[in-house]
Amino acid sequence: ATDLVTFGETMALFVSRRTGPLRFARDFDLGLGGAESNLAVGVTRLGRSACWVGRVGADEFGDLIRSALAGEGVDVRAIPDLEAQTGLMIKGRRTADHVDVRYYRAGGAGSRLRPEDLDPALIRGARVLHVTAITPALSESARATVRHAVEEARDAGVPVSLDVNYRRALWSQEAAGAWLREVAGRVDVLFATADEARLIAADAPLDDPAATAAALAALGPRHVLVKLGSRGAVEWSDGVCRRAPAYQVTAVDPVGAGDAFAAGWLADWLEGAEPDQRLRTACAAGAFAVTSQGDWESLPTRADLTLLERSADGVSR
């Protein structure tokens, strides 16, 4: 059986090599990305098994997604959809310091996920089910898939993890907040940024992440992680609050830090690591993700994690 099961939309990703308005781009690197499959890669790199389920087009990009994830050792269940194409993401830099991501995904194969696409035995046999609040914003059938999967997991006593991943292009803060408040009480692990926390608990204090985490925990999750970017993260678990600073790294691309953080936390949780260790691993994985281009390529292995501890002179021999 697989340690972690997740599902969602993964898309082809075009990254402009040039900084400036996208219309002046000349060359693109082709890759792929999706919050849930990024997480599956992260968990796999850290030594646990992960399965990703999603719909892709019967096209080159669907094949790219299938082969790249399989190459990473993820158990890929990429269902070919004959009636829609794989969605696209285009990433550019308007300035050296500002990354912008555009999505061409409406009606794409990934959004057509439906409850029958998930094998109940797969969920029932997992040690954790991981979902994001991207999926319910994609379509009615995708939203039903999340509801169905969460119920299946709860029914079988499989813990559920939810990473908010709020996408403003897909739905309003009000709609996302309503959905999140409904689901927060049904999950065991909840990952959110400080801003996302306020979608769920509107009166959560902006400048007090510990109180924010406590407000979310009051809704039911046993573990709440509030991510604070370069300021680290706060964890509320079983009534205890922990805080971890971020690792000092040179950030080149902020995208993917959240997925990496969740992957690090869940991998260590699956390992049965101590809470302090688990939070450090999560922060270390988040730090790795920001150090290079690509949403998941730079995700760390266990060996990589030790680099952060001994990077004082920046050389390993």
**Active site members:** 259
Which of 129/133 has CB closer to ligand ATP?
A: 133
Q: Which of 56, 233, 263, 305 binds ligand ATP (CB under 6 A)?
A: 233
C-beta closer to ligand ATP: residue 97 or 313? 97
Q: Is 193 in the site for ligand ATP (CB under 6 A)?
A: yes
List the one residue from 22, 79, 210, 251 that touches ligand ATP (CB under 6 A).
Answer: 251
81 forms beta bridges with 57
When asked if residue 255 is in the footprint of ligand ATP (CB under 6 A), the reply is yes
Question: Which pair of tokens denotes residue 22?
Answer: 């996208």
Is 283 one of the binding residues for ligand ATP (CB under 6 A)? yes
- Mark the segment that binds ligand ATP (CB under 6 A) among 10-18, 137-145, 281-289, 303-311: 281-289
| Strand stretches in the chain, DSSP E | 4-7, 11-19, 28-33, 50-57, 75-81, 88-95, 98-104, 128-132, 160-163, 189-193, 223-227, 233-237, 240-244
Tell me which of 137, 150, 246, 299 binds ligand ATP, using CB under 6 A. 246
Q: How many CA atoms lie within 13 A of 93 on its CB side?
A: 15
DSSP 3-state of 238: coil
Q: What angle do CA 8, 187, 66 make, to 5 degrees?
A: 20
* Beta carbon nearer to ligand ATP, 123 or 308: 308
Distances from the Cα of 31 to the Cα of 24, 64, 160, 291, 296, angstroms: 20, 8, 29, 17, 10
**CB-nearer residue toward ligand ATP: 112 or 166:** 166
User: Does 137 engage in binding with ligand ATP (CB under 6 A)?
Assistant: no
Residue 257, interface with ligand ATP (CB under 6 A)? yes
Is 162 one of the binding residues for ligand ATP (CB under 6 A)?
A: no
Q: Is 23 left (phi over 0), alpha (psi -120 to 50) or beta?
A: alpha
Min dist. Cβ of residue 122 to ligand ATP (A): 26
Supply the minimum distance, in Å, between the C-beta of residue 170 and ligand ATP.
Answer: 14
- Told to check if 265 binds ligand ATP by CB under 6 A, we report no
Write out the two tokens for 185: 């009480």
Of the pair 68, 244, the CB lying nearest ligand ATP is at 244
Residue 232 is a binding residue for ligand ATP (CB under 6 A): yes
Q: Which amino acid type is present at position 284?
A: A
Rounded Cα distance, 191 and 128, in Å: 14
Give me the least distance between CB of 219 and ligand ATP, in Å please: 19
Distance CA 26, CA 12 (A): 18
Residue 290 is a binding residue for ligand ATP (CB under 6 A): yes
The reply to whether 130 sits near ligand ATP by the rule CB under 6 A is no
> Rule CB under 6 A: which residues touch ligand ATP?
193, 227-230, 232-233, 246-247, 249, 251, 254-259, 261, 283, 286-287, 290
